Amino acid sequence: MIICVAVVGLQNNPLYIQSFTDGDDALKLHYIVHCSLDVIDERVNNPKKIGSTLNETYLGLLYPSENYKVYGYLTNTKVKFILVTTDEDLKDADVRSFFRQFHAAYVDAVSNPFHVPGKRITSRAFAERVSTIVRSFGTSTTI
């Protein structure tokens, strides 16, 4: 189950963060998202250490903690998407397809002429679309 998604901008400024839990652990999730930014930086600056596919937008599993797994995605415009989940065994294809849909939603949101580039995304349509994507996560493996 996805418990948090976040969009982080060029200067590591939060653009959008949304948790999908009932409890008030928003602060903890913010902390997890923050930590993962360092991991992203490290991966992007030392791509040889990973040795995997060069400059792919999908960064894969960033780090596992006791309860969560954190996945990352970095667009060409240096905007980061972060996904926090509690699932133990996730298929890579599922995560990739999630990020692809999420990216499409993000692009549509920032193409709104009323959106100011580099500012928080406040669009309600975007929030609804994100929750739809999150709800459908893992239910279908079609790409």
Binding flag, residue 122, another protein (CB under 8 A): no
20: amino acid identity, one letter: F
- The CA distance from 76 to 98, in Å, is 17
- Stretch in the footprint of another protein (CB under 8 A) among 1-9, 89-97, 109-117, 123-131: 109-117
- Stretch in the footprint of another protein (CB under 8 A) among 32-40, 62-70, 71-79, 128-136: 71-79
| Residue 40 · residue 59 · CB < 8 Å | yes
Binding flag, residue 82, another protein (CB under 8 A): no
Which of residues 29 and 105 has its CB atom nearest to another protein in the complex? 105
Of 95, 45, 51, the closest CA to residue 70 belongs to 95
- Stretch in the footprint of another protein (CB under 8 A) among 21-29, 34-42, 69-77, 121-129: 69-77
Compute φ and ψ for 142, nearest 5 degrees: -70, 145
User: Is 46 exposed, middle or buried, given 0-12, 13-18 or 19+ CB atoms closer than 10 A?
Assistant: exposed
Binding flag, residue 93, another protein (CB under 8 A): no
Which of 77-96 are b and which e, b meaning 16 or more Cβ less than 10 Å from the residue's Cβ? eebbbbbbbeeeebeeebbb
Which of residues 18 and 75 has its CB atom nearest to another protein in the complex? 75
CA distances in angstroms from 106 to 41, 62, 132, listed in the order given: 21, 21, 13
Which of residues 105 and 134 has its CB atom nearest to another protein in the complex? 105
- Which positions from 13 through 52 interact with another protein, judged by CB under 8 A? none
Q: Site for another protein (CB under 8 A): which residue of 12, 104, 122, 125?
A: 104
Binding residues vs another protein (CB under 8 A): 53-57, 74-79, 103-104, 106-107, 110-111, 113, 117
